[in-house]
Amino acid sequence: MDVRELKIAGAFHFVPQNFADARGHLASPYQEAAFKEATGHTLFPIRQTNHSQSRRGVARGVHFTTTPPGMAKYVHCSQGSTLDMVVDVRVGSPTFGQWESIVLNAEHPSGIYLPVGVGHAFVALEDTVITYLLSEGYKAENEKAVSVLDPPLGLPVSDDENLILSERDRVAPTLAEAAELGLLPDYETSLRVERSLYEKYEKGADA
């Protein structure tokens, strides 16, 4: 497993070896040992898994969770391919407003870890399925969004007639507007929530 920390502190890209033959291929986008070595956490605390299917041209995000309660995510592409974006929306973070994009695809599977408080977006480059491991159960009232089309944010997403957005994502505030409204996670709070999350989970795993 090759592991690279993204420029968003605490976010990582995990690239496993891909075993291919005439039948197809096998890869393990999440591996406990690699996750522990990269993050210092024993294992990812899975509370829920999501299967998200998107047509070609669908854009989702930038989505994040109110913190607290906060949510960490581990995502990989199970079908098709996507331009995946990790966005630092944590107020007070040294990389606030910065982002990194990675193409995820099912032919060469890899995983991205998004720590608590970090935003996530993607554009489906073809019909695509994204699999999410989530550290908390989904609650609609805790889920927020920043516009994926926010010009100052500058994500590699163009607003053309072929882009498919939900109404929620279409009317989402810009990063600056979300900050002014007090919607964004705080950096220090996000770090504290993440530490607490893993401490509680690891104590439970050892019980």
CATH number at residue 45: 2.60.120.10
Question: Is the pLDDT at 159 greater than 90, yes or no?
Answer: no
Does residue 165 surpass a pLDDT of 80?
yes
63 among known catalytic residues: yes
- The torsion angle over the Cα atoms of residues 167, 61, 123 and 100, rounded to 10 degrees, is 160
Residues 74, 113, 132, 198: which is the catalytic one? 132
Dump pLDDT digits (tens) for 66-125: 999 999 999 999 999 999 999 999 999 999 999 999 999 999 999 999 999 999 999 999
Structurally, the chain folds into a number of domains equal to 1
Alpha-carbon torsion, ordered 97, 100, 101, 104, to 10 deg: -120
Q: How many CB atoms lie within 10 A of CB 111?
A: 26
Q: Which residues span the domain enclosing 122?
A: 2-206
Between strands 59-65 and 12-15, the pairing is unpaired
Predicted local distance difference test score (pLDDT) of residue 40? 92
3-class SS at 79? strand
Half-sphere exposure of 206 (CA within 13 A, CB side): 7
Q: Check residues 198 and 160 and name the one with the higher pLDDT.
A: 198
The pTM of the whole model exceeds 0.85: yes
Q: What does the pLDDT read at residue 14?
A: 98
Supply 18's token pair.
Answer: 């891909």
pLDDT band with cut points at 50, 70 and 90 for residue 207: very low
Q: What share of the chain in percent tops pLDDT 70?
A: 98
For tokens 């279409």, name the residue: 170
pLDDT value at position 20? 84
Whether 201 sits among the annotated catalytic residues: the reply is no
Minimal CA–CA distance to 85: which of 157, 33, 164?
157
| Element housing 113 (H / E) | strand 111-114
Mean pLDDT score of the chain: 94
Residue of 41, 63, 76, 120 marked active site: 63
Q: What confidence tier does 43 reach under pLDDT thresholds 50, 70, 90?
A: confident
Residues 6+ apart with CB under 8 A from 176: 152
Distance CA 119, CA 112 (A): 12
Q: Is residue 204 pLDDT above 70, yes or no?
A: no
Q: What are phi and psi of 63, to 5 degrees?
A: -105, 140
